Structure formats: C-alpha cells, structure tokens
A and B are shown apart, each in its own frame.
Chain A
Amino acid sequence: LRGLWISSFVRNLEGFGGRQQNDGCRSLSLSGHVGVDSLPDQLVNKSIKQGFCFNILCIGETGIGKSTLIDSLFNTSFDDPVSTHFQPNVRLRAQTYELQESNVRLKLTIVSTVGFGDQIKKEESYQPIVDYIDAQFEAYLQEELKIKRSLHSYHDTRIHVCLYFISPTGHSLKSLDLLTMKSLDSKVNIIPIIGKADSVSKTELQKFKVKLMSELVSNGVQIYQFPTDDETVSEINAIMNGHLPFAVVGSTEEVKVENKMVKARQYPWGIVQVEDENHCDFVKLREMLICTNMEDLREQTHARHYELYRRCRLEEMGFRDTGPENKPVSLQEAYEAKRHEFYIEMQRKEEEMRQVFVQRVKEKEAILKEAEQEIQAKFEHLKRLHQEERLKLEKNRRVLEDEMAMFIKKKAAAELLQTQALVSTPVNFKKDKDRKK
C-alpha cells in the first residue's frame, strides 16, 4: 500500500494528459464530423455557470492612489474608507464584490494594505503581507488535504496578482520597496506600477522607468512577465513587457473634454485624461491585467506559486517522496504517526479537563456544606430563642393564674362576710319589708 497524502487540482482546465508523449497513440483521420470541436464550448459553458474568481492585492503607501485606481479599473466605486497615516502597524483589508458583465460572473476580491510605509520603524512592514498570502495558500492546502473535500465549490482566496505601487519620486526604488518585493516575488505575481504618475514629467518618466527596471533586475526581483508563448498575444505581451512599470493615474471624477465626459483629473494647467495613452499607461494596465492575461495570472498562481508553497509546507511537515535509501516512503506512515500524536494529545487534554471538572465539583460541594452548616446553626439559635420566649410566657401565665386564684378567694371571703352581716339584722329588715308592703 502506498502512501496517500492527497492534494488535487480543482480546475476544469487541468489534467488533460501528457502532451509530451503520444505513447502508442495513433493519429486518426476522421471520415465525417464527430463533434470534438464543441469541447471548448462545453468547457467554457461549465465555467460560466460556475463563475470566476479573481483576487488582487494592492500594496502601496497610504495616499498613493490604490483605491482610486481600482475604482477606475473596474468602472465603479467600491466605497473604501480613507485611512489615516497613524496606523501603528500594517494591516490588510479585504473586500469581495460580485460583478457581472454579459453572462460572466466574477467574484472579485480586493485586498489593500493599510498603513504601509507609515511607521517609523518599517522592518516588520512586509511580514503581515507575506503572512496573509501564506494564509490563503494554507487554507487551500488544508481543503485539498481533507478527506471529504469540496474543491469544486471552494471559494478560491489565493492572491492572483499583486499591484505594487511605487512612489513617483522620479529617482529610484525605496529600500522598503525592494525588501517587500523580494519577499513576495516567489509567492505571488507582482506587477509594479508607478502611482500618481501625473507628477512625473514625460522625460523624467522614461529615465525613471529604466532606473526602476534595472534596479529590480540587479536585485534579482522576479516580477510577472506577460506570457509570450501564444502567437496571438505574444507580440502585444512582449511590447507591454517593455513598458513596465506602468505609470498610472486613477480618477473617478469625470471632466468634459471635447463634448465627451471622460475620467480625468483637472488641473489649472490642463486635464490629465486617464484613458489617454499619451497621458498615462492606465489603458495598458487594464488591457494586460483583465483583457489579456487574467487567466494566465490565475494559472501561474495555481501551478507555480501554490505548488511551491505546497511542496515547502509538506516537506516542512516531514513528508518526503523518497526515503533515505531512495525508496518511496509511505506517506501513510507519516500521516498515521501524526494522527496517533494528535490522538494522544487529545486523550491527554480530555484527562486534564476531567481532572479540572472533578476539582471544581469538590470545591462546590465544600462551599455548599459550609452554607448548610451555617443555616443549621442559625436554626438552632432561633429555636433556642423561641424556647426561652415560651418559658417566659409560661411563667407569666402562672403568675397570672395565681393572682386570679387569689382574687377569687378574696372575693369568696368578701361575699361570706356580706351574707353574715345580713343574717345578724333580720327584723329591721323584715319591718322594712312590711312597711314597704
């Protein structure tokens, strides 16, 4: 049994068999219409039904025009709140939008840096970005490695392209730029662009571009090259490669120029039109990014950057394709060992929790017992008081009864005296009685 650590490719497009060798395959000549030419349409229809995903990462200093450029590129206002220059560290803000054009649905995710280049100490500036990109790869890898996975309907959050905004100083790259791009070039497709390019004059711009490109080359930064292997686009792509970095101007405001409303920036000395190729490279960027190479960007992300990440990560986790004697190692064993580890860990934590639980129960019992005793004591006390009261009352009653008895005796004695007195004077009494008659 061989090892099984699964990963897969989710694309409809991939896995179409080795083109390289036609081992034992004969080329057939068809004697009629078969219908094989409808295959690309079938594939395309399925893809349309599923919809597409595209994720753009914008890196640049605060205020360099990231949000405005994105708004201009996609002809809409994505409503990004303006951020301050006082962020303590670099963060990333991601927002997803659903766009539709004719029958194509696109799930567009724009990730922007917040606070990039604002700190006093910038050594850690690029780390949150690298972490974010890695986290997206990691999420995809985890999904791939699951036993029950649903790659088919997975919302791909991996960054397909990184637009790196260079400040239009006119001189050269900043050291932060170099550092950041160097740490990202093996993880994502980088397209460097010059932001707010209307502050650089035409002659300066040419020199600036040359300087930038030579700096990138001499520092070994791998930026994205528009592919030149397909004849239909190779020519235009090659030309565009020569125009890098694109000098862009973004604007969402419209200005009237020759009876048309165009996206532009109005200055006292003139109007910079965003979509005029003489004014800036905005149209070129849009052309390259969306109309010509969107699919290639997605494929490069998946086939090159993601595969590299996956390979490194799996090796990090201790998996190998071949063991020490160059024999294919059973990944299954590694996997099982890891599961075993997790299982033991889980047992241990369960035991811990159980102990804690028992402890708590004991404590609670002790408290309750104490309370019970307290109540008991109170009860006893009250009972005693009650007893005392009762005794007192008893005593009072007896006293009262004694008094009553005495009184009755006195009364009897008094009555006796009275009757005796009556008997001793009977005649007078009779005479009186007769007289009355």
Chain B
Amino acid sequence: MSELVPEPRQKPAVPMKPMGINANLLGYIGIDTIIEQMRKKTMKTGFDFNIMVVGQSGLGKSTLVNTLFKSQVSRKSSGWNREEKIPKTVEIKAIGHVIEEGGVKMKLTVIDTPGFGDQINNENCWEPIEKYINEQYEKFLKEEVNIARKKRIPDTRVHCCLYFISPTGHSLRPLDLEFMKHLSKVVNIIPVIAKADTMTLEEKTEFKQRVRKELEVNGIEFYPQKEFDEDLEDKTENDKIRESMPFAVVGSDKEYQVNGKRVLGRKTPWGIIEVENLTHCEFALLRDFVIRTHLQDLKEVTHNIHYETYRAKRLNDNGGLPPMTVETEENHESNL
C-alpha cells in the first residue's frame, strides 16, 4: 500500500460566509418550477420499497400483504406450496415485484420470515432476522465505501417491518416483547393485530390500549417514533396515528358483492366483513398510513437514522485503537 501522507488542502482566500438576507422578490422568477423538475425526475427513476412481515404462521401475513398491494405478492402466491412444511429455523425469503400505477414505478420487495415463533423452543428466533437486516445495511455500506461507486446504490435495506400480533385479547406474548425490544432499534416496526375479526369493538379497543401500555412500559418505540417528530405539525399528526395503533386488520383477496359494489371481504354465516370498510376493521388506515402518506418517511427514517446508527457503530467498533472519532482527530489537528 502506498505511503499515506495526509496533505492538508489550502484554505481558499475567502471562506464562505452565509448571510441570511431575506431578499424580497419583485416578480415571478420560476424557482417553484423545481418541484416539477424534481417530480419528473423521480417518475423517471422510480422508487424502491422493502417491507418485511414477521409473525407466527397462520396469522394471515401473506393475505394481508396481498390485500395491501392488491395483487399476489406474497411468497405463497409466487409458486410456493401452502402445504409446505413449517421450516425448522427461521428462514428469510425475499421476493421482488415491480408495480406501476399512474406512471409511477415501484420496485417492491416483500421479505417473509417463515418459521418465526413456530418452534417449541423459540429462543433467539429473532436473531436470523436481525442478522438479515444488518446484512442489508452492511451491503449498502460497502457499496457506499467504494472509491468508484455506482450511480444508484441498490437499496435492499428493510424500510418497514410489519409485526403481527395474535388477537388473544389479553396482552402481548413474551416472544412479541422480546422481538420488538431487539428490533425496534434497527428497523421501523409497525405492529398490527392480525385476524381482527375475532374481536368485538370493545375487546379491540381494550386490547389495543393494553398493548400500547405494555410497549410503553417496556420502552419499545414503534414507528412513527416519538423522538423523530421534526416539528409540531408532525407531532400532532403522528400523535393521532400513534393513538390508533396497533391497527386491527383483516385481510382478504376475495371479492364479494355488497350493496351493488364489488368489495374485498370475508364471507361468514353472520355477514360479510368488508376489508376496506373502516367500521369493520382498520385495514384502510394501515394501507393509507404505509403507502399513501408515510412511505417516503419510512424510507427516510431508515436511511437517515437506522442506517447512520449502524454505520457509526461499525466505524467505531472497527478501530483497534482507543476510541477516537475522525472528528476529534481533525479538531486536534487544527488546534495544534
């Protein structure tokens, strides 16, 4: 390796002095066209979204994901056998799809975790999941580190993790708490109450309250995390959402005729449960939340916070020397 000679760069004659003068505009210039420019560009490049679903088998994960994206996205529909044996350890299976709607292209990756919580001994069954998430961060990091790096670094990091809670009506299971405790620090977790058609309205509200309390007591921050609210507007909006989480959802990919309309639902002897009807379940809230309002924010929190935390830890851990950040070294350089 060549000799490392850190040669200090000459400072320019006139350093930057930002003076914030609010210059009054006397006419239209066209600065706001940048929005259109940006929009056009994003339509061209498209979006990536990686969503992970975690929960015991039989909770309706695949069905829910199919309902969310209104198509057969789940692993089960991609040629897997429903009668397949439950795996002996937690497996991670990622499947990619391309969705196009209204000229907008999205590359959606659904990451399924069969085998989670299904064994007799479920100790540390979150570890393969944590490992997978960190592996994606590592992959991204490595690409970023390269000297000659790609124009668009492929983003396989998990942006959102839907955690399915069993609708027992009592409280969270120890496994649920353990999982969320470990993973809420590395990924955005959105807890959902699965198969919510087994609870009445009162049971639902009580259960949700209990779950929220338990999460708070255990110090588990689910998405949208309170600490990342940027301003008052965000806070009020997110407070409302946090109050109604976890969403109690019902999924279905079958359509029925109700009041002359075709709706997605589940047919039971006592009636048809309409998935997108807010009085029946909160699926529509979940869908709007994840896709229509907060998708970009999910990605940003993953990139700006979770990824940065991972990166900083990785850099710090890798020094065999006394822990010094690059910043202190630079400060020392300038002081001495």
**At the interface, is chain A mostly helix, strand, loop or mixed?**
mixed
Residue from A92, A132, A287, A349 in contact with B336 in the complex, judged by beta carbons closer than 8 Å = A349
CB distance from A137 to the nearest CB of B (A): 10
In the A-B complex, list the 3 residue pairs whose CB atoms are closest, starting with the nearest.
A37-B102, A96-B18, A295-B37
Residue from B24, B47, B151, B294 in contact with A303 in the complex, judged by beta carbons closer than 8 Å = B151
Contacts of B153 in A (CB 8 A): 9, 14-15
Binary contact track A359-399/B, C-beta < 8 Å → 1, others 0: 00000000000000000000000000000000000000000
* A147 with B72: CB separation less than 8 A: no
* B42 with A43: CB separation less than 8 A: yes
Residue from A4, A29, A89 in contact with B314 in the complex, judged by beta carbons closer than 8 Å = A4
A329 close to B (CB within 8 Å) = yes
- Counting chain B CB atoms within 10 Å of each CB, which of A6, A76, A95, A314 scores highest? A6
**Alpha-carbon separation in the docked complex, A94 to B32 (Å):** 24
* B35 with A6: CB separation less than 8 A: no
Binary contact track B264-298/A, C-beta < 8 Å → 1, others 0: 10000000000000000000000110011111110
- Counting chain B CB atoms within 10 Å of each CB, which of A17, A48, A343 scores highest? A17
B26 close to A (CB within 8 Å) = yes
For the complex with contacts A146-B325, A329-B1, 18 further pairs of A-B residues with Cβ separation under 8 Å are A2-B145, A15-B303, A17-B152, A22-B96, A37-B103, A38-B292, A41-B39, A46-B296, A79-B21, A91-B13, A91-B14, A92-B14, A96-B20, A104-B31, A131-B9, A135-B12, A230-B44, A290-B31
CB distance from A234 to the nearest CB of B (A): 12
Contacts of B2 in A (CB 8 A): 318
B120 close to A (CB within 8 Å) = no
Contacts of B141 in A (CB 8 A): 4, 6
Interface size class of B (residues with CB under 8 A): 35 or more
Residue from A40, A44, A52 in contact with B104 in the complex, judged by beta carbons closer than 8 Å = A40
Task: List which A349-363 residues lie within 8 A (CB) of chain B.
Answer: 349
Closest to A136 in B: B16
* A147 with B325: CB separation less than 8 A: yes
Residue from B20, B296, B297 in contact with A98 in the complex, judged by beta carbons closer than 8 Å = B20
B237 close to A (CB within 8 Å) = no
A238 close to B (CB within 8 Å) = no
Contacts of A142 in B (CB 8 A): 330
Contacts of B81 in A (CB 8 A): none
* A104 with B32: CB separation less than 8 A: yes
* A338 with B14: CB separation less than 8 A: no
B123 close to A (CB within 8 Å) = no
* B69 with A34: CB separation less than 8 A: yes
Contacts from B to A (Cβ < 8 Å):
1-7, 9-14, 16-35, 37-48, 68-73, 78, 95-104, 106-108, 141-142, 144-155, 230, 264, 287-288, 291-297, 300, 303-304, 308, 311-312, 314-316, 318-322, 324-327, 329-330, 332-333, 336
Contacts of B321 in A (CB 8 A): 336, 339-340, 343
Q: Which of A61-69, A242-250, A319-327 touches B?
A: A319-327
A311-B148, A317-B4 known; A76+B295 contact, CB < 8 A: no
* B149 with A46: CB separation less than 8 A: no
Binary contact track A134-171/B, C-beta < 8 Å → 1, others 0: 11101000100111110110010100000000000000
* A323 with B1: CB separation less than 8 A: yes
Contacts of B17 in A (CB 8 A): 94-96
A13-B45, A46-B296, A128-B13 known; A73+B29 contact, CB < 8 A: yes
* A102 with B32: CB separation less than 8 A: yes
* A98 with B22: CB separation less than 8 A: yes
* B34 with A295: CB separation less than 8 A: yes
* B102 with A16: CB separation less than 8 A: no
Closest to A129 in B: B12
Contacts of A335 in B (CB 8 A): 318
CB distance from B142 to the nearest CB of A (A): 6
**Alpha-carbon separation in the docked complex, A320 to B2 (Å):** 10
Binary contact track A285-296/B, C-beta < 8 Å → 1, others 0: 011001111111
* A31 with B70: CB separation less than 8 A: yes
* A97 with B23: CB separation less than 8 A: yes
CB distance from A303 to the nearest CB of B (A): 6
**Alpha-carbon separation in the docked complex, A435 to B161 (Å):** 153
A30-B70, A36-B101, A44-B38 known; A97+B20 contact, CB < 8 A: yes
Binary contact track A260-304/B, C-beta < 8 Å → 1, others 0: 000000000000000000000000001100111111100100010
